């Protein structure tokens, strides 16, 4: 659901970039010294996991697909402030290195895919946890919160496009289509989120508030190593088999609304990325060895994401410590 530059005016795109930048600065101030020697590496590994998972589009309807967002899952695991930093870093890497979402639209994407899931998703999760304190209640809360954040982030897109004013669109139809298709995507993402968190709960119950019953089954280092291996397998191999259908936003824009489709398709990404479209730059390798091309791009992307996220976490931690 990454927005491209063509959907926003410079004024609206710039305003959303300032807004999102300010919100990430707030996240950095609030998380502070909570980023200890365990949280920072977990941010890096889980950020890379989300990056890899987002490469794998799954079919939703005939002709469309979706992928994991991950923001609410990270908020439940790391807290909303750290999750916002991680998701913001992932989106910046995707934008600058892989041309997924335009630079002008980066602020909107951070708002829709990082800040909304991290903060509103976490708020819904905590609210339901107060009513349902059991482990089953925790799973229910994670499911509902994830579904909520996916649909809310999707509904914001028509609002942002309408405010930009570049396209004359039937707003309510746009909202209805985005909400409908992302409701289906959200149901799948919510199931994946509960599954991933449930797996973490079984291995490291100390990392979640789903109840203390159960023992720690593996060391923290082995836990991170396992997530890292799974991440590389997803990005370096499984991503090749992802659905080739357009994601929910592209499907709504091109197939249902026909917003000058050629222009939208051409300008969906900036040009000149190192791994434009999650493939290597060499066209011959892309054509003759597509799995290798996708695998290399995915593996490099996971490493870059780990470095960027951990660097961001370390800088925030260091500055907060100096401020104290």
Q: Which residue has the tokens 């410590």?
A: 321
At 46, the pLDDT band (50, 70, 90 cuts) reads very high
Give residue limits of the domains in the chain: 5-28+36-314
The predicted model scores a pTM of 0.90
pLDDT tens profile 301-321: 999 999 999 998 888 877 766
pLDDT score of 217: 87
What whole-number distance in Å separates Cα of residue 304 and Cα of residue 307? 5
DSSP helix/strand/coil, 66: strand
In this structure, are residues 224 and 176 in contact, taking their beta carbons and an 8 Å threshold? no
What is the residue-averaged pLDDT of the chain? 88
pLDDT, tens digit, 9 for 90 and up, residues 187-227? 999 999 999 999 999 899 888 888 656 688 899 999 999 99
By C-alpha distance, which of 265, 248, 261, 245 is closest to 178? 248
Q: State how far the Cα of 192 lies from the Cα of 94, in Å rounded to an integer.
A: 22
Residue with tokens 């939703």: 60
Integer Cα distance of 155 and 294 in angstroms = 31
The better pLDDT of the pair 229, 255 is held by 229
CATH for 5-28+36-314, options being 3.60.21.10, 3.40.225.10, 3.90.1150.10, 1.10.1760.20:
1.10.1760.20
DSSP, collapsed to helix, strand or coil, labels residue 134 as coil
Q: What is the DSSP letter of 239?
A: G
């Amino acid at each position: 659901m990454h927005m491209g530059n063509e959907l926003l005016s410079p004024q609206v795109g710039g305003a959303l970039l300032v807004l999102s930048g300010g919100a990430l600065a707030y996240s950095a101030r609030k998380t502070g010294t909570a980023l200890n020697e365990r949280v920072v590496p977990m941010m890096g590994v889980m950020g890379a996991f989300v990056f890899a998972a987002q490469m794998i589009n799954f079919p939703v309807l005939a002709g469309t697909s979706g992928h994991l967002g991950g923001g609410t899952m990270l908020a439940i695991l790391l807290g909303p402030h750290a999750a916002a930093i991680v998701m913001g870093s992932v989106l910046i890497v995707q934008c600058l290195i892989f041309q997924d979402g335009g630079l002008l639209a980066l602020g909107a994407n951070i708002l829709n895919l990082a800040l909304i899931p991290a903060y509103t998703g976490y708020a819904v999760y905590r609210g339901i946890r107060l009513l349902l304190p059991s482990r089953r209640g925790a799973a229910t809360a994670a499911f509902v919160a994830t579904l909520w954040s996916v649909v809310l982030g999707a509904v914001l897109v028509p609002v942002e496009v309408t405010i930009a004013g570049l396209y004359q669109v039937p707003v309510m139809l746009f909202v209805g289509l985005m909400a409908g298709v992302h409701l289906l995507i959200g149901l799948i993402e919510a199931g994946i989120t509960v599954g991933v968190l449930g797996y973490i709960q079984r291995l490291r119950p100390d990392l979640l508030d789903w109840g203390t019953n159960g023992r720690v089954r593996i060391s923290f280092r082995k836990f991170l190593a396992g997530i890292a291996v799974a991440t590389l397998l997803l990005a370096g191999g499984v991503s090749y088999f992802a659905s080739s259908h357009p994601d929910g936003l592209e499907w709504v824009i091109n197939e249902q609304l026909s917003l000058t489709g050629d222009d939208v398709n051409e300008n969906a990404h900036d040009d000149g990325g190192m791994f434009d479209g999650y493939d290597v730059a060499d066209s011959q390798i892309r054509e003759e060895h597509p799995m290798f091309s996708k695998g290399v791009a995915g593996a490099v992307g996971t490493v870059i994401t780990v470095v960027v996220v951990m660097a961001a976490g370390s800088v925030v931690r260091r500055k907060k410590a100096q401020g104290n």
